[in-house]
Structure 1
Amino acid sequence: YMKSWERPPLVNGQINGRVFRDTKGGLTIGYGHYIPEHEKWKWRDYDPEQGGTREMTLLDMENLFKRDVDLLAEVEIRKRFKVRLLQQEYDALVDFTFHRGGGALRESGLEGYINTISDGRYDYDKIKDQFMKYAFWFNQTTQQWEFVEGFSKRRKEEINMFQFGIYTLHR
């Protein structure tokens, strides 16, 4: 599921193993691996903007994605949630955390609310509202929160996964 959202752009029908700019202009490689400014030098051989010509293999992209999901999302979920989660709930929270970060998990209210419901009988309107807080992106240039249709679609799919166990592939 997550890879369908994080897939790199296609070049001549093939997955591109080079650095690219995501929809918000951030440097990215492989399946959603965000490259912060202080790591840009590590990826220069793969970055056409820096004259790089190398491409990651599919296997390397897959391994980087698995590592990122574990380090950036699964560790956060295992650490933060004290209640038993269904697989679909866990998966939805992993996707949300991978996409928006551990801070969003806490700030959305999801972490606090879910940890208070030990029997899994959630108020799904509350869950939905907490996911949908992150259908927005803070634009550093304008210093404004902006609605992003793609983020909204992803949040809705995470909600369906969490509540109903529906896994929808993107694209």
Structure 2
Amino acid sequence: MALSKSAAGLQHASGGKGFKPLVTSEAGQKFLSVWEGVVLSAYPDPGTGGKPWTIGIGHTSAAGAPVVTRDMTITRAQAFEILARDLQLFEAVVRERVKVLISQQQFDALVSLCFNIGGPAFAGSSVVRHLNAGRYLDAAAAFELWNKAGGRVMSGLVRRREAERALFETDIYVAGGAANDDVDVGTVLRRGSKHPDAIRALQLDLIALGWLPADRDADDGDFGPNTEKAVIGFQTKSSLTVDGRVGPATRSAIAVALAAKGARVAVGMYPLPGQKIVETLAA
């Protein structure tokens, strides 16, 4: 385990004699992308139905170049190039605040946490306090305290924190191999997903928009064929990628459509950038 191995594989995050400052590894970027989602076409802020537009791995114009516009598209490679630049701010916070020796994998886990909760929250967190006091096990456990949004525990954040803690403790990228279409983690919901609270929230939104009947068969359960059909219908009408999968772009479009109807959003996954949580049913 990383917490008990020798210092041979550890270094100060800010570098030092014979070492360059740590930056997020390729595996760390892939790990983070699983939880943030990778969207190759710009999608609107769910609160405004427009600006700020988001693309790639949670990138908005506020983070710097490139400026995101309505019809913008990028490649997957470009999404990760943009992410690498966006991460520089959060990497700098980790390098500045962490004063003890850590591994590359521990750095990646800390950057993932910082990216998700923000630099100021990370800097003042018990994760950093425990770590700088040499209490690595306590620091690892403290990851799981950051599991709420809107004051409520969100199942998606619970899973993300568990994966970050595992990476920090073991140097194993638990979700690192999960950035493909066959793994049900992170921000994407799809046929066969086994997160009933998140799926129920999605279904409530689809019912409100008229894509699912309110008396649909209960055995549709965790994203069954009826839910997939409804998602495909919504994606087709909304000129989205038609794949039956609900990621950030589809989630945002659903929120915009609900706002246009004056209907309340049942948040079915992580809140998107700028999205105010009115009622949290799941993550």
User: How many Å separate the matches in 2 of 1:116 and 1:34?
Assistant: 36
User: How many Å separate the matches in 1 of 2:102 and 2:32?
Assistant: 19
CA RMSD of aligned residues (A): 2.7
- Aligned pair partner of 1:84 in 94, 98, 101: 101
Match of residue 3 from structure 1: 33
Q: Which residue identity lines up with residue 147 of structure 2 in the other structure?
A: A
- Aligned pair partner of 2:72 in 37, 50, 54: 54
User: How many Å separate the matches in 2 of 1:68 and 1:130?
Assistant: 25
Equivalent pairs: percent with the same residue? Answer: 28
User: How many Å separate the matches in 1 of 2:57 and 2:77?
Assistant: 11
Change (3 A) 1:55 1:89: same
Q: Which has the larger helix fraction?
A: 1
- Aligned pair partner of 2:148 in 136, 145, 150: 136
User: How many Å separate the matches in 2 of 1:27 and 1:132?
Assistant: 30
Aligned length: 141
TM-score (norm 2): 0.44
SS at match of 1:33: coil
Alignment of 1:115 onto 2:115: no
Once the two structures are superposed, the pairs formed by residues 1-171 of structure 1 within 5 Å of their partners are 1-9=31-39, 16-20=40-44, 28-34=54-60, 42-43=67-68, 45=69, 52-71=70-89, 73-117=90-134, 122=136, 124=137, 126-137=138-149, 139=150, 145-169=151-175, 170=178, 171=185
Match of residue 252 from structure 2: none
Q: Which residue identity lines up with residue 82 of structure 2 in the other structure?
A: L
Pairwise CA distance, 1:128: 4.1
User: How many Å separate the matches in 1 of 2:160 and 2:60?
Assistant: 18
TM-score (norm 1): 0.70
Larger-gyration structure (1/2): 2
Contact 1:8 1:30 in 2 (8 A): yes
Q: Which runs of 5+ in 1 are unaligned?
A: 10-15, 46-51, 140-144
SS at match of 2:173: coil
Contact 2:128 2:139 in 1 (8 A): no
SS at match of 2:152: strand
Q: Which residue identity lines up with residue 165 of structure 1 in the other structure?
A: D
Q: Which has the larger strand fraction?
A: 1
Q: 1:121-144, CA deviations, whole angstroms, 9 ceiling, x for partnerless residues?
A: 63x2x224421221111x3xxxxx
Q: Which runs of 5+ in 2 are unaligned?
A: 1-30, 179-184, 186-283
User: How many Å separate the matches in 2 of 1:100 and 1:27?
Assistant: 20
User: How many Å separate the matches in 2 of 1:75 and 1:115?
Assistant: 16
